[in-house]
Amino acid sequence: MTIRPRLPLAFESGDSPGWIFRVFLLAALLLAVPLAAIAGQTADANPTHPVAAITNQTTATAPLNDAATVILVAGVEGEAEYQVLFRQWAAHWSNACQQAGVRCLAIGLTHHPNPTDKALFQNLLQSQSHTNPAPLWIVLIGHGTFDDREAKFNLRGPDLTATELAAWLKPFQRPLIIINTASASGPFLPALSAPGRVVITATRSGHEQSFARFGGYLATALVNPVADLDKDGQTSLLEAFLMASRATGEFYKVEGRLASEHPLLDDNGDRLGTPADWFRGIRPVQQPEQKGTLDGLRAHQVHLLPNPAERQWSQRKLARRDALEQTIAALREQKKQLGESEYYARLEPILMELATLYETPETPDSAGPSTKPGSE
């Protein structure tokens, strides 16, 4: 099975269709790149999946693809109804990890006084590889607070502050996906934002302190084929964020209530974040006042459950593909300054390398250093 070459986000509008067609036709003729779309294979998350099975689960389904790791941290529930919800959300994540062959480690689903959940989380982070090319996902499920100075994620025992988590993550050079689904989670975004990271929060500020529902919608969107807006057989983190954000907004609209949560996504390291209503489809259409790089591209390259063909790619090869797409996006930002001729002259070799990547078969030798699923 071959991955369908996807049209980079930079070309969804604004470029000459004739020129784009000429480049892709040239690549196809030279490299015989298949253009048929592949069928995605996803399954609905099962909310009744046993929570106990979350801890230390590993399913090896991607022999060439290095193993990502998902760390789930469930905070203190407060009330019984929230305990049920948080465990359902954790079960959705567990189910998605099983489908993807991704190791899922959980903290906070069992009660014990010592060590504290905060200490367990810190120790677990310290035990993870800092340089593994595979993403490390950190998902916080629970409640949060904000005292006008510091945002906290509420745990059994000592709470976790945004400043503390930022310090714990500072040594990591690998891709990080950090998702805080708690109330008052907004201040975690500027604290954790950095190049090579995707940060998602359920709220846009620390003052949105009511119970946040966004996390439940996101947990189900990750493996929902309806969220696959570009129809490439897989749901990206961006697509899941967009679906979950809009479902969250719809909840408040139907209930006739003032929305008390406004999710944000940051994947360009500018510490600002972008809401879902700044996107049309998967393409950002609103420019931030600071005129920085738009959010969305990196998050659209991240898939917890890749399509069957993409699971055969090594992390090295995926990283090169992602870097080329990011180069195209950066080049597009310079289009007016470069002029049309120079812009297309720089663009053509990048597209040709992309075509070569899609055509070159993956082998154990070409995969480079690899981490076996379940190891670091």
Give the number of other CB atoms < 10 A from CB of residue 96. Answer: 24
Low-confidence ranges of the chain (pLDDT < 50): 1-4, 11-13, 16-23, 25-65, 365-376
Q: Which residues share a beta bridge with 137? A: 70, 177
CA 130 to chain centre: 18
Contacts of 290-294 with C-beta under 8 Å, sequence gap 24+, read: 292/268, 293/268, 293/329, 293/330, 293/333, 294/268, 294/329
156 and 111 Cβ atoms separated by less than 8 Å? yes
**Residues 6+ away with beta carbon under 8 Å from 198:** 176, 177, 178, 237, 265, 266, 267, 298, 299, 302
Q: Provide the pLDDT for residue 8.
A: 56
Q: List the domain boundaries for the chain.
A: 1-376
Q: Provide the pLDDT for residue 34.
A: 37
Distances (CA, A) of 97 to 90, 100, 279: 11, 5, 27
- Whole-angstrom Cα distance, residue 5 to residue 35? 7
In the numeric block, the tokens 């099962």 are attached to 46
Q: Provide the pLDDT for residue 330.
A: 86
Q: Provide the pLDDT for residue 292.
A: 66
- Length of the chain, please? 376
307 and 233 Cβ atoms separated by less than 8 Å? yes
Query: What's the DSSP call for residue 104?
Result: E
CA 253 to chain centre: 27
DSSP 3-state of 221? helix
Which sign, positive or negative, has the C-alpha torsion 44, 48, 51, 53? negative
Q: Provide the pLDDT for residue 302.
A: 95
- Whole-angstrom Cα distance, residue 240 to residue 258? 23
5 and 355 Cβ atoms separated by less than 8 Å? yes
Q: Provide the pLDDT for residue 54.
A: 47
Q: Provide the pLDDT for residue 368.
A: 41
For the chain, what is the mean pLDDT? 83
- For helices 340-359 and 17-31, the axis angle rounded to 10 degrees is 30
Q: Which two tokens stand for residue 338?
A: 């470069």
Q: Which two tokens stand for residue 254?
A: 């139907």
| CATH number of the domain located at residue range(s) 1-376 in this protein | 3.40.50.1460
- Whole-angstrom Cα distance, residue 5 to residue 358? 6
